Chain A
Amino acid sequence: MISEQVRQDFATAAAIEDRNSSWITGGTVHAGQLALYVDRVSIVEVCRFLKDQFQYRLSGITGVDWYPLEPRFEVVYLLHSIERNERLRLKCKVAGDDPYIESLCSVWEGANWYERETFDLFGVQFRNHPNLTRIMMPEGWEGHPLRKDFPVHGHRYSYSDEGNVL
């Protein structure tokens, strides 16, 4: 549900809601930038609609950890359309006990590394991702560094062949 004011100011948001009123569950406008909350089961459909209808491209995917609140994670999609010169942010709330969301690789190939990075640093699983492995951290790393309960300093990691000794 989005307000009448947002519908007037942002034609794209109105178009998404007109297409399927259950897609958007909320939204915020901050500093003139629109962020829409999307139910995580429909994220692929929404993005495909935006790409086909308005030539949106994917600028980036990332996460935000709101520990200790639940649902803990927000997966953020930064979208942009060159033709319309317009930006849009989609956000999906993802619970902390089983963090998963559908992969966008079938819509934009470029989602591949961004999703791997979000998986690596936040531990959010992207379903149907062709190669969901760590991208920034070494393979044997334990934990996900950008989670708020992961320490900034003091995490011990052994670079020896015997693996990660804590």
Chain B
Amino acid sequence: MSDDLLSPTATLEPEQPEVLGEENTRRRMTLNMGPQHPSTHGVLRVVLELDGETVMKATPDIGFLHTGIEKQCEAEKWHQVVPLTDRVDYLANLNNNLTYALAVEKLLGMTDAIPPMAQWMRVMLCELQRINSHCVWLGTHALDIGAMTVFFYCFREREDILRIFEMFSGQRLMTSYIRIGGLALEPPRGWDTAVRKFIDAFSEKVDQYEELLDQNPIWKRRTQGVGGMPIQQMIDWGITGPMLRGAGIKWDIRKSEPYSSYDKFDFEVPTHTENDVYSRYRIRLEEMRQSARIVKQALEGMPSGAWSAEAPKVVLPERERMKTQMEALIYHFKIVTEGVRVPAGEVYQCTESPRGEIGYYIVSDGSTRPHRVFMRTPSFGNLQALGPMIEGCLIADTIAAMGSMDFVLGDVDR
């Protein structure tokens, strides 16, 4: 065909319209959404089988971002795994740091040795991270549905949070600030002023998002009654986090299995029963308010004292001590060259990430490197349910339903 067209004598004859029989008029079309589609927020391919505008079948195809982090973890020393956990979910890196640190601390039997100041600081930073993640989610989700302004508002606040992270760790995204045994560095001078300034202004900012979207007729039409799924089916498919709470299940790991002194904080677990995209939006908005509440409490009651555990065989000594004390120098040398020996055993530690249940299943064989690190990531479980969730939806609703899942592809593929 193409050869003919290139020859000078070729003429373009109008193609005869194909005559379709009755059985062929409702032919299905297969459409590849992604891997480079703006609303998949990463490299996700969804194979959609369409009947007109209706999605008959949706098959997510993942693995484009698989980096073999779990394999790499087995090749690193226990301390060296922390920066890898950052790269799993780049919108919840502190939550990943925390989960890994808690798991290894459990294996080491030093959970009770973590000083209160480090625990509270971990909680505060993880809640700032939750606000950050929800801001990114809200901005991009609204942008997908056509509300552009919200994006700028949300990223304005995100920028403030990233500046706070930079202040703490020197990094905006890959903070690696939570380490085995405590924190990586002493909290910087003036951190409380910076956090207070942000958090005092923040509740007003959430009101702004709410004003932009809450009663917006287009937003409501696009989100209400969209993306529902029977609750038992959601649980069977492995959905966790805000999506389950949007279906009326009051389950939050911060409450049910409190870690890192979350039980000392006063906060609510918001739930809605509508089980649609709109209710998930409401849940996340209220979670931002609750997170701000936790951050405020952490600011008020931040205990003073050490920021990492008194465990010379596990925690690197302070720089100054390392240079002046023989013993600290020896421990420093041992930890850096040989690594920490973690007693043989296995542990599963889960925390509540902005997306749901994040769990690290870690097996140690008693050596200086993990034998196995399995990351149970919330996005993987949530994304799996995409197929059954959007079957029967209109193609436009697919975007809204996918956005409401709030997955991060790095978190899915690892």
Contact = CB atoms under 8 A, between A and B. Distances in A.
Interface in A125-142: 134-138
A109 B237 contact: yes
Interface in B356-380: 357, 359, 361, 363, 371-372, 374, 376, 380
Interface stretch (A2-10, A59-67, A95-103): A59-67
Contact of A33 (B62, B237, B347, B388): B347
Interface in A76-115: 76, 78, 80, 82, 85, 87, 89, 108-110, 112-114
B345 A31 contact: yes
The size bracket of the interface on B is 35 or more
A76 B374 CA distance: 10
Given A31-B107, A136-B413, A62 B374 contact: yes
A57 B348 CA distance: 16
A58 B345 CA distance: 22
A145 interface: yes
B251 interface: yes
A64 B236 contact: no
A11 to B, nearest CB: 18
B51 interface: no
B256 interface: yes
Interface string B336-349: 00000000011110
Contact of A59 (B62, B63, B359): B359
Contact of B249 (A33, A62, A82): A82
A30 B349 CA distance: 12
B296 interface: no
B236 A109 contact: yes
Nearest to A118: B374
Given A110-B381, A137-B66, A30 B345 contact: yes
B374 to A, nearest CB: 4
Nearest to B345: A30
A64 B372 contact: yes
Contacts of A145: 68, 71
B361 A31 contact: no
A65 B346 CA distance: 14
B235 A57 contact: yes
Contact of A30 (B68, B233, B346): B346
A112 B109 CA distance: 35
Contacts of A136: 62-63, 66, 413-414
A31 B238 contact: no
Q: What is the predominant secondary structure among interface residues of chain B facing chain A?
A: mixed
B256 A85 contact: yes
A152 B374 contact: no
Interface in B388-406: 388
Interface residues of A, number: 34
B297 interface: no
Contact of B74 (A110, A113, A152): A152
B348 A113 contact: no
Contacts of B350: 59
Contacts of A112: 384
B385 interface: yes
Contacts of A65: 372
Given A78-B348, A110-B384, A112-B384, A60 B374 contact: yes
Interface string A26-55: 000011010100000000000000000000
A146 interface: yes
Choose among A60, A64, A134, A152 the residue with the greatest number of B CB atoms under 10 Å from its CB: A60
Nearest to B346: A30
A80 B384 CA distance: 18
Contacts of B235: 57, 82
Contact of A57 (B70, B238, B374): B238
Nearest to A62: B374
Interface string B61-91: 0110010101110110000000000000000
B249 A64 contact: no
**Lowest 3 A-B CB distances belong to which pairs?**
A110-B238, A60-B376, A62-B374
Interface of A: 30-31, 33, 35, 57-60, 62, 64-65, 76, 78, 80, 82, 85, 87, 89, 108-110, 112-114, 121, 134-138, 145-146, 150, 152
30 contacts: A30-B347, A33-B346, A33-B348, A57-B236, A59-B359, A60-B238, A60-B359, A62-B361, A62-B372, A64-B363, A65-B372, A82-B235, A82-B249, A85-B256, A87-B348, A109-B236, A109-B388, A110-B384, A112-B384, A113-B384, A121-B70, A135-B63, A136-B62, A136-B413, A136-B414, A138-B63, A145-B68, A146-B70, A150-B71, A152-B72
Given A59-B381, A109-B388, A136-B62, 9 more contacts: A33-B347, A60-B376, A60-B381, A108-B238, A110-B381, A136-B66, A136-B413, A137-B63, A137-B66
